[in-house]
Structure 1
Amino acid sequence: MVPLPDWFLFAGAALLMVLTPGPNMVYLISRSICQGRQAGVISLFGVIVGFLVHMFAAAAGLTALFLAIPLAYEVLKWAGAAYLLYLAWAAVKPGARSPFEARALTIDPPHRLFFMGFVTNLLNPKIAVFYLSIFPQFVSPVQGSVFAQSLQLGLTQIVVSFSVNLAIVLSAARLAAWFARSPRWLAAQRYLMGTVLAALAVKMAMEPRRAV
């Protein structure tokens, strides 16, 4: 299984990713503000099912990849570091838009809320790249089954994401109103997030290749 220090580091990376604005956050906040908390929660369950699809695909893919091409770790490591730097820039670049600015959405029935949450996450490039480039940095064949380690990390990411997104859904309207009155705090959050993501990217790039 994944060593405890690496597991804590991964959980921290998962927390940073869910706090970084993306399609999931924008959709859930907009849905919660436009249609209420219940609609946001139903949409969130659709998002979670999308996570499960990403998780099992990544777990199966990484198992095959490590067995076939061990040196692919290096390629994925640099791809992951580059993506984290991109997210850091996206957080601090001029004109970055707050996800707490609700988008206008139509009123949808529960089954469509669930489906749209699922599709939004399934087609979310941030999640796909996270699973493909960040996962391998915490997985090593010498630590046991790559598939089991991937499931451990995937379930950790899902629990972190569900907890944070549920809190956001339940308080979306109040958070949006608070940030509208406190633009400086929103800017501070963006710069802090960008700094932490950049630091994580540097750490990832400096990591030696794991034994296979």
Structure 2
Amino acid sequence: MLTFAVAALLLIMIPGPDQALITRNALVGGRSAGLLTMTGGMLGLSVHVSAASLGISALLLASVTAFTVLKVIGTVYLVWMGIATLRSARKRVQDGDGSEGDRSLPRAQCLRQGFLSNALNPKVALFFVTFLPQFLPDTRHTLASALQLSAVFVLLYLLWFTLYTVTVDRFGAFLRRPAVRQRIERSTGALLIAFGIRLALQH
């Protein structure tokens, strides 16, 4: 369990689309927006956890067509989010927005963005199908163990990104300075597009 927890935490800490979205929303909408985005991401993980534990993810990954469809949808979503973020940053420059944050992100939008960033990512399904079984006992009754390990992964995700969101918000006065915020938004948009392209190349 300890080995799994350490390995899972290291994987969670690797930057990905959900971290990019949490950073962006925490800067724009404050701590609550970042936490809501994280909650959406956790719900997206829960979809893959349930699917992997029940064997559905294995069926998905065994079908080239199903995997490709999910990959295309996930790619389009990430690229679209990246372009929207870049356009938002450009509009902020054109409008001469010097505010420290409009704090006006709808709650449903934050939840939806976090949820879709994980739920539509077949690489997350791939992770639970390939990584998780390495830590399961060599018995027939593996469902309970799979759910237990998955719960640990989701809990670590929750703890890490709660700390991350609080840290981003704590340094909000600096990070929301117009010049800094514009650079972060541009970087976030470019990263989301890059994540989308990388997902499109996933086999």
Shorter-chain TM-score range: 0.5 to 0.7
Select which of 68, 89, 96 maps to 1:74: 68
1:53/1:103 CA distance change after superposition, 3 Å: closer
Flag structure 2 segments of 5+ consecutive residues without an equivalent.
137-145
Instruction: State the AA in 1 paired with 2:20.
Output: L
> Residues of 2 paired with 1:63 and 1:147: CA distance?
6
- The equivalent of 1:136 in structure 2 is 125
Which residues in structure 2 correspond to 1:85-96 (within 5 Å)? 85-93=79-87, 94-95=90-91
User: Given that residues 58 and 132 in structure 1 are in contact (C-alpha distance below 8 angstroms), is that contact kept between their aligned partners in structure 2?
Assistant: yes
| Structure 2 counterpart of 1:126, from 105, 113, 129 | 113
What is the CA distance between 1:198 and its match in structure 2?
A: 1.7
TM-aligned CA distance change 1:87 to 1:159, over 3 Å: farther
Can you list the C-alpha shifts for 1:157-211, whole angstroms capped at 9, x where unaligned? 32332122111333334544xx14xx3x332222222222222211111111xxx
Residue pair 2:49, 2:150 contacting (<8 A) in 1 also: yes
- Match of 2:78? 84
Q: Displacement of 1:52 after TM fit?
A: 5.3
Match of 2:192 among 197, 201, 208: 197
Q: Contact 2:44/2:118 (CA < 8 Å) preserved in 1?
A: yes
Query: Would the aligned equivalents of 2:37 and 2:115 in 1 still touch at CA under 8 Å?
Result: no
- Give the aligned CA root-mean-square deviation in angstroms: 4.2
1:165 alignment partner in structure 2: 165
Compared with structure 1, are the counterparts of its residues 127 and 96 closer, same or farther at alpha carbon in structure 2 (3 Å cutoff)?
Answer: farther
**CA shift in 2, pair 1:46/1:187, >3 Å:** closer
- Per the alignment, residue 101 of structure 1 pairs with 101
Gaps of 5+ in 1: 30-39, 105-118
Label 1:148 to 1:73 Cα distance change in 2 as closer, same or farther (>3 A).
farther
- Alpha-carbon deviations, 1:41-66, whole Å to 9, x = none? xx987887666555434421454432
Q: Which amino acid aligns with 1:95?
A: K
Q: CA deviation at 1:26?
A: 4.3
Task: Specify whether residues 189 and 101 from structure 1 end up closer, same or farther in structure 2 by C-alpha distance, changes over 3 A only.
Answer: same
Structure 2 CA distance for aligned equivalents of residues 17 and 45 of structure 1: 11
Residue aligned with 1:124, SS? helix
Corresponding pairs, count: 175
Secondary structure, counterpart of 2:120 in structure 1: helix
For each residue in 1:38-97, what CA deviation from the matched residue of structure 2 results, as whole angstroms up to 9, or x when unmatched? xx6xx9878876665554344214544325544233322222222211121122114259
Q: CA 1:103/1:188 → structure 2, altered by over 3 Å: closer, same or farther?
A: closer
Percentage of identical aligned residues: 12
Q: Which residue of 1 aligns with 2:50?
A: 60
